[in-house]
Structure 1
Amino acid sequence: MSDEVDWNSVWDQSIVGSEPPPELRGVNPEDVKSIIYLTDGAPEGLSNSLSQFSGSHKLGLFAASTPFVTGRSVTLFLNDEICDSGAVGLALKQEASCGLRFHGMEPLAEPMIVSQSEGNLVILLDNKTPTQLLLSAIKQKGINLQTPDYEEFCLASIHDHEPKQMFSILSGDPSRGTIALQSNSSPPSGSRVQFFYRPKTTTAEVAATLSRGTFSFTTVPEALLGHNAEEEVADLELPDSFLAGSEKGFLVSRGKETPWTCSIPGSSAVLHWST
């Protein structure tokens, strides 16, 4: 294998390697304050190309799978056209704030510093193996891995004592000590991070209340995917608001933030416009 390969560049998902969609070419990035889009399962090129709109919040939702509904992997609508790949969206000029909610997630350990990471792998935390740190935190918390009495383990990047990003932990390698995150990239070295988990007694919920003038994407818990549509459910009224959900999660990029994926059930991203 050639020694000339720059693996840092290969793993760096923030590198912009493509032009934005034709509809956005020629648009002054300073005029765009928010970008909202629905996408298929491969949004990396699009999300990276939108990084030139560094003054805007970019919020994308993975389209739900529809092979048994429409015969397409996903079903997107652009005016009178039906698409089964790509993305559709809006670029808005009005100023908006962007907030994240991680319903039911509780801290599992004290914050740590990322010593080494690569791609979606976290290799060292506080110069120790993250797998052993996670297992130690689970043991100290008294969590039963056999029952189990937990729903989700996550790693969050911390800013001002609050989670700024939160990633599902896909797996851990006890022999190497690394953990893999459900993301294209992991928090870089020097980042302040913290383990979180959701107790099984805490149900992941879809946002039931939203302020007026909000636009929200949420990750739908798997328990709701098998819900019988014929069952009677209470009406949910969201005046002057929009809420959409997907079991695959959503993408976020606030300003110059590197795009990242949140697939934690019950989590949501909210754009709010002042009225």
Structure 2
Amino acid sequence: MQKAVTVVGRNPSTLLTELSKFCLPESSSKTLLFTLAPSPNVSPRQLSALTTSLTKHFPVHVGCISAPILLSGQRPAYCSISLALVDGIPFRSTIPGLPETQVGRWHAGRNRSLSDSGARLSDSLHANVSPADMLGTALMSDGKINWEKVWSVPPSLSLQTGPGPLPEDLRNLEPSTIGSIVYFSDKASEGISSGLQNAFPNAHKLALLASSTPFLTGRPFTLFHNGRVHSSGAVGVAFPSSTPLLDLAFPPLVALTPPLPVTSSEGNLLLSIDSRNPTRLLLSALQEKGITFCPNTAVAGKEGAFYVGVVENDNLAQVHRISSGDPSRGTIALDTNIAPREGSTIRLYQLPRKTHGVTISTVSESTPKPSLSVLVSAEVEPSPSPQESYPGDCGTALFDSFIAASENGIILSSGKSFASKNTSWTCTVPGGRVTLSWDPARN
């Protein structure tokens, strides 16, 4: 990463003023990596002016619209731009992921031919699985599909074990020369995530799920690639350098249990923890701490949300939100495609609702330079003193730090020299952060 900066300001004109101090070259052969987090009152015209000013001197660029990050305390950030000039291979992906789960009665009776369904699924994560093998048991005699059986496809069929599809720009790269890949994606990221993991197992793959923008740009997501704007897929950069340092940081989670082994799991369900009923184990831990929990909902009222953390070498390696629990069956459902496997060590956690969000300043101060950090944005309460002056009102620039956030989460597939190698997971815990940092002397 050649240069990086995160600029925060009250309005777009402040951003442009601060950005001019960054000494951007009039033209450059570098790839521009950027995110733009507009405030709610930014007009489409102002947004267009911002993106034009960013990209006009950089014909090769990738970017997305992201979410604002806290500036200080509980005050929301204003507009912000994060950008980096990098030596890398940009790419655009249209590899499909899994379609959104359809609920209600409508989808259960939906008529779809086997060939249509097979093409949709075999092009994504199941590229090496025969559609007939995968959907044969789900196809009913009247030609309709039993979608409940489709969603219960065993994990062994859900993950590719061989080469998967790759964006054209990455197909001829030597895997050993790529140290990291950073990309921005829509929420259906399973296809590109799986393809990158299979093709570049030793590289860190880090994705920011772009913010939802239907009320801002009229698109579900807004991605930028070499002068074009896209509503879906993914855009990113592969870095032909040594593998950067990888650091995970989580908000102040409160441990509810000691480390415990997973004794049985399936799909996104924890079936047994330490040979015990998972839901009753959680309820017992909450009762001891005087915390109430509604087992059939992901929301726990004023008490916050609850998570399962995977512990490796006494450190948190992954965190998954508990979406529901069933005391009678004992299962705990997680907001992930694959729950921690049998033999994993986990702890149950609570994230109090009034946890303070991560701020731009704290991220910059706690990370090496140069670095790239992506985090899950938290819901922010309105500031009680809107007229009070804060740093950033006149513009603030944080050099050598690329900091971006999204309410939709981040995806990490870690590479070599990291405990969770070859596992891909999505972090949605507010304040969760992943940072890549480079040693300039090694690149």
- How does the TM-score come out when normalised to structure 1? 0.90
Partner secondary structure for residue 363 of structure 2: coil
Displacement after TM superposition at 1:151 (Å) = 1.9
Whether 1:41 and 2:187 are equivalent positions in the alignment is: yes
Displacement after TM superposition at 1:88 (Å) = 0.3
Q: Which of 253, 263, 266 is the equivalent residue of 1:115?
A: 263
Q: Which of 25, 29, 33 is the equivalent residue of 2:175?
A: 29
Displacement after TM superposition at 1:113 (Å) = 0.7
Check 1:264–1:13 CA distance in 2 against 1; reply closer, same or farther (3 A cut).
farther
Structure with bigger strand share is 1
Whether 1:240 and 2:240 are equivalent positions in the alignment is: no
1:126 aligned partner: 274
- Pairing 1:1-275 to 2, within 5 Å after superposition: 2=137, 7-10=154-157, 12-13=158-159, 15=161, 18-51=164-197, 52-95=199-242, 96-145=244-293, 148-207=301-360, 208-210=362-364, 211-223=368-380, 233-235=390-392, 237-255=397-415, 256-275=421-440
Displacement after TM superposition at 1:178 (Å) = 0.8
The code of the aligned residue for 1:67 comes to P
Question: Aligned Cα RMSD in Å?
Answer: 2.4
Displacement after TM superposition at 1:57 (Å) = 0.4
Deviations 1:183-209 (A, max 9, x none): 111111110111111223432324523
Check 1:132–1:270 CA distance in 2 against 1; reply closer, same or farther (3 A cut).
same
The code of the aligned residue for 1:243 comes to I
- 8 Å CA contact 2:154, 2:267 repeated in 1: no
Taking the aligned partners of 1:150 and 1:205, their CA distance within structure 2 comes to 20
Taking the aligned partners of 1:201 and 1:138, their CA distance within structure 2 comes to 18
Displacement after TM superposition at 1:94 (Å) = 2.4
Check 1:185–1:206 CA distance in 2 against 1; reply closer, same or farther (3 A cut).
farther
The code of the aligned residue for 2:184 comes to L
Partner secondary structure for residue 184 of structure 1: coil
- 8 Å CA contact 1:120, 1:185 repeated in 2: yes
Taking the aligned partners of 2:195 and 2:172, their CA distance within structure 1 comes to 14
- 8 Å CA contact 2:309, 2:319 repeated in 1: yes
- 8 Å CA contact 2:181, 2:205 repeated in 1: yes
Displacement after TM superposition at 1:239 (Å) = 1.8
Displacement after TM superposition at 1:223 (Å) = 2.0
Taking the aligned partners of 2:224 and 2:167, their CA distance within structure 1 comes to 16
Which consecutive segments of 4 or more residues in structure 1 shift more than 6 A? none
- 8 Å CA contact 2:155, 2:338 repeated in 1: no
Taking the aligned partners of 1:17 and 1:130, their CA distance within structure 2 comes to 36
Taking the aligned partners of 2:159 and 2:391, their CA distance within structure 1 comes to 42
The code of the aligned residue for 1:142 comes to G
Displacement after TM superposition at 1:148 (Å) = 4.2
Taking the aligned partners of 2:427 and 2:209, their CA distance within structure 1 comes to 10
The code of the aligned residue for 1:209 comes to V
Taking the aligned partners of 1:145 and 1:120, their CA distance within structure 2 comes to 20
- Structure 1 unmatched ranges of 5 or more: none
The code of the aligned residue for 2:355 comes to T
Check 1:8–1:60 CA distance in 2 against 1; reply closer, same or farther (3 A cut).
closer
- Structure 2 unmatched ranges of 5 or more: 1-135, 139-151, 295-299, 416-420
Taking the aligned partners of 1:121 and 1:115, their CA distance within structure 2 comes to 12
Partner secondary structure for residue 391 of structure 2: coil
Aligned length: 271
Check 1:215–1:192 CA distance in 2 against 1; reply closer, same or farther (3 A cut).
same
- 8 Å CA contact 2:255, 2:348 repeated in 1: yes
Taking the aligned partners of 2:348 and 2:411, their CA distance within structure 1 comes to 21
Taking the aligned partners of 1:87 and 1:34, their CA distance within structure 2 comes to 16
- How does the TM-score come out when normalised to structure 2? 0.57
- 8 Å CA contact 1:13, 1:184 repeated in 2: no
2:141 aligned partner: none
Deviations 1:128-179 (A, max 9, x none): 1111111111111222448844222110111111111111111112221111
